[in-house]
Amino acid sequence: MLGGLQRREEGCLSVPGFFEEVERAERIRVSALDKLGNAQIFEAKGLLSVCIQHECDHLEGRLFVDYLSTLKRGQIRKKLAKLARA
């Protein structure tokens, strides 16, 4: 994180039909490997920063709903269970 936070509405195909505001870093610095295996460092801000953080969370086994309150997560779980039974 390079400073500042932002709140944006997020959704995910892993949790279809649900959208909630999530707080994430406004600006980030990312270290990655390109397709040739060379180390690359770049910075991102705004929506691109949110997208990168969202996708990196998937690599760590996290979903955007993990950032929500326990109450909100419970509500979403109940709705998903109801949809699965339908």
Tokens linked to 70: 């326990």
- pLDDT confidence band for 84 (50 / 70 / 90): confident
The one-character DSSP state at 81 is H
Whole-number mean pLDDT of the chain? 94
DSSP string computed for 38-80: -EEEEEEEHHHHHHHHHHHHHHTT--GGGGS-HHHHHHHHHHH
Q: Within 13 Å of residue 49, how many CA atoms lie on the same side as its CB?
A: 20
- Give the span between the Cα atoms of 19 and 49, in whole angstroms: 18
Q: Which residue is catalytic, options 9, 21, 23, 55?
A: 55
Give the domains, in start order, of the chain with CATH numbers. 3-85 (3.90.45.10)
Asked about 55 being catalytic, the answer comes back as yes
Segment 3-44, tens digit of pLDDT: 799 999 999 999 889 999 999 999 999 999 999 999 999 999
- pLDDT confidence band for 1 (50 / 70 / 90): low
- In this structure, are residues 52 and 29 in contact, taking their beta carbons and an 8 Å threshold? no
